[in-house]
Structures are given as structure tokens and as C-alpha cells.
Amino acid sequence: MKRLSIVAFLFLGTQLHFAHSQEPRIDQTTRWTQDFQIQANVDRIIRIDRVSGRETVLKTPPGTIWTTYGEGRWWALESTLKYSESNNLPGDGGLRSKEMPSQKIWVSNDLSRWEAYGSLLGANDSGASILVPLSDNSIFLAKRFGMHFLQEGYSPFYIVKSSDDGSLHASANVDLDIGPMYSKKAWTTKDGTDFDNLICNPRYQICKNMLFELPSTLFQFDDGFLFLSKQMGVAWCFDRTGRLKSRLQLFGLMVDDDFARIFTFERAIVNCQLTPDQTILVAARTKEAVWFNQHFFPSMPTSVEGDPVPPEVRALNEGRGNDLNPNLEWFELDPGKRRIRGIAPPFGAPTTIRELPETSAPWFTFAWDGSARFRGWAEL
């Protein structure tokens, strides 16, 4: 008799241990609505009124790791009390866990106080690092460590809905349109028992690592949201129900089954910001720099777990690469029209890599009419 076994596909170079913190490495940016601007921080949320300029501030609950605004309310995601990556690996008889982790989600209707919205129970559903509220009263979640498992397979992104008892339960995993979420592999144990293993598609693990362990940004708009990988210049665009609408690629880069290949490319996007008209302003290296700089003048290890390049060699090679391909290019990413197009540099914006400041802070301030003002080096 053949049994079904579920195993996680963990391969060399993709099971990462950058930090023990559950906090995401994905950046958040200022969000604009028709009436106000939102600045979501781990310790507080700030609402700035468009007409009066008045600021309303609400401190977040203790242990908050992510805050956001969506579907007319304000949200805070609390850290899991105790979380271990091994808790996410399904095994015989269910999930292996020494204790039952739980994670609370808070909501505020008017930025005056927080109310408990519900709890994520168990090692599979808890352990989320990012929250996006959806239009159908469900919630889009993302895991930094481990993968979320349902019968359709594994994904770093999943959707939960609330139950009458206040708990939240996963209703679906999110398909990233990079192949099936699992594959089957038959094998036989020593006692002659046949199994069908469900194996995680390595591309899903690679995408998770690319978004969470390398520079990335989450952008939210009125009609959806997107994750943007600065390393690869790839954007995954979702609608308000959490369904993947499109995948946009700046230079035609996309992952294959080899995560180490990501490190053969120069980081594509240097800076990016959401504008009041719901588009994203992007400063990027040239295609030649992205494709060839790391090949001729490597300044990064060949994998996450590879030996680091010595500082003196890295500095020398970065300088050589910048001399070879110094130019910056400017783009407008429009998720509504599902396109990325080249644009002229905004007034006062840098046009070469040599002009860049030593900071990842936003380079621009925006007026409500969408006009941009470049911030001088002294302001950054």
C-alpha cells in the first residue's frame, strides 16, 4: 500500500540563517490615499491629513513586527511568542513542535486604540512576518522562515480567514506562477512500504529567499500591492483579493532552480519610491552593469553561504565595475497598467553611480500633485 509523505525540499544555499529575529527584511514605504498619507513604522503609525497637515499618531502594541493600513483600518502584526524554523517542517503524524506557537493580529478603526482581531495558532499558520488586509475580509500573510503548507503544496505566501472563536485559519496558499507548488517522488522504505513524497518546488524557496534575505520593498496601493526584488528587478503584483495579477521584470531576469545564480548579477535597483499617483519611481543600474559587472569584477560571494569577498577586493572591484558601467537609468513602474517604462531623470536626480549617497533612505519628497523634489545629500 502506498502512503503519502510530506517533506520540505531544503537544498544547499537556500536554507538561510541570517538572523534569529522574525522581523522581515522587506522595506515599507510611505503610502498615499486621496485624503491622507500613511507612514507605517514598527513602533507607531502616523496619519498625515492632506488638507490640514495634521498628524495623528498611534503607538503599536508591544512585540509588533509589522504595521500597515488597508481596507479602511489600521493593522499590527505581533511577533510569535517563541518560534523555531524546524516547527514548519511537516512530518509523520502532523507538524513537529515542542510547543504550540501563536501569533496575534491587532486592528484599529480610528487610530485611537487597538483591538485584538484574531490569533494565528500552530507552527504552520503562525510565524508570519508581513500582513496585508484583503478586500474580502481575509488577510494575506508572508513567512520569512520556513514555508506554509496546504494540500496544494508549499508557498511563502498564504491567505487566512477568521473563525467564530476568534482564531484565524489558512484558506489557501498563493500561487506565484512559477510552476506547481510541489512535485511527487516515489520511494520505498527498508520494510517495503511505498511512499509518495510531496517535495517543495525549489523556485518557491528561491523567491522567498530573494524577497526576504536580499533587498526588497512592499508597496501598497488602492487596488492592490506588490513585492519588488531590488536585487533582480522583479515585481510580483497582486490584486485586493491576494491573487497574482502579473509579474514584471526590469531586465528580463528571473530565477531558475539555482539560487546561487542570483549572485552572478549586480543589484538591479538602487532606489525606489511610491508616488502619490500610485506609480513607483525606480532608479536602476544599466542592463550592462546588471548582467556583466559581477562576472568581470565580483564584489559578492557566489552564494549566501559562500565565503565573503575580502573588503579590499570588494572595494576595488566595485570601483572597477562602476568605472565600466557608471550610468543610472530611471523607470516608472505602473502596476495598474502592468508595465515598466524608461523615463527621463527627474529634475536634480543623479545620473551616475558615482553621485550616490551612502544611504538607502528615500531620495525624493513628493507633493500631493505628484511632483518630485530630489533631496540633497545634506538632507539624506
Spans of all domains in the chain: 1-201, 214-380
Q: 202 near 180, Cβ under 8 Å?
A: no
First to last CA, the chain: 65
* Most confident of the following: 62-66, 214-218, 361-365: 62-66
Condensed to tens digits (0 to 9), the pLDDT of residues 332-347 reads 999 999 999 999 988 8
Q: 25 near 39, Cβ under 8 Å?
A: no
Separation of alpha carbons 108 and 76, rounded Å: 9
Nearest to 324 by CA among 316, 335, 312, 333: 316
Structure-block grid coordinates of residue 257: 532552480
Q: For a pLDDT cut of 70, what percent of the chain falls above it?
A: 74
Q: Are strands 73-78 and 90-91 parallel, antiparallel or unpaired?
A: unpaired
* Burial annotation 70-104 (CB, 10 A radius, 16+ → b, else e): beeebbbbbbbeebbbebbbbeeeebebeeebbbb
Separation of alpha carbons 349 and 367, rounded Å: 16
| Residue 258's pLDDT band (cuts 50, 70, 90) | low
Q: Is the pLDDT of residue 238 over 50?
A: yes
Hey, which residues does 238 pair with through a beta bridge?
225, 244
Give all strands of the β-sheet with 36-40 in edge-to-edge order: 31-32, 36-40, 44-49, 55-59
Separation of alpha carbons 67 and 230, rounded Å: 22
Q: What pLDDT is attached to residue 141?
A: 96
Question: How much is the mean pLDDT over the chain?
Answer: 78
Q: What pLDDT is attached to residue 304?
A: 53
Amino acid at 171: S
Helices (H) and strands (E) in the chain — how many of each? Answer: 4, 30
* Most confident of the following: 217-221, 292-296, 368-372: 217-221
Longest dimension (CA), the chain: 75
Any idea how long the chain is? 380
Lowest average pLDDT, out of 40-44, 102-106, 155-159, 346-350, goes to 346-350
Instruction: Name residue, grid cell 522504505.
Output: 189
Q: What pLDDT is attached to residue 6?
A: 37
Structure-block grid coordinates of residue 351: 545620473
DSSP 378: G
Read off the pLDDT of each residue in 81-109 and give the average, rounded to a whole number: 62
Q: 74 near 58, Cβ under 8 Å?
A: yes
Q: 255 near 210, Cβ under 8 Å?
A: yes
Distances in Å between the Cα of 313 and the Cα atoms of 316, 325, 372 are: 5, 18, 37
- Could you please report the per-residue DSSP string of 181-193? SEEEEEEE-TTS-
Which is more confident, 266 or 235?
235
pTM beyond 0.85, yes or no: no
Separation of alpha carbons 120 and 95, rounded Å: 15
Task: Please give the helix or strand (H or E) that residue 205 lies within, else none.
Answer: helix 202-212
| Residue 356's pLDDT band (cuts 50, 70, 90) | low
Separation of alpha carbons 184 and 198, rounded Å: 5
Within 13 Å and on the Cβ side, how many CA atoms surround 65? 22
Nearest to 69 by CA among 104, 30, 43: 30
Which is more confident, 379 or 318?
318
Condensed to tens digits (0 to 9), the pLDDT of residues 126-185 reads 889 999 999 999 999 998 888 888 887 888 899 999 887 778 999 999 988 877 777 766
CA angle 35, 38, 40 (to 5 degrees): 165
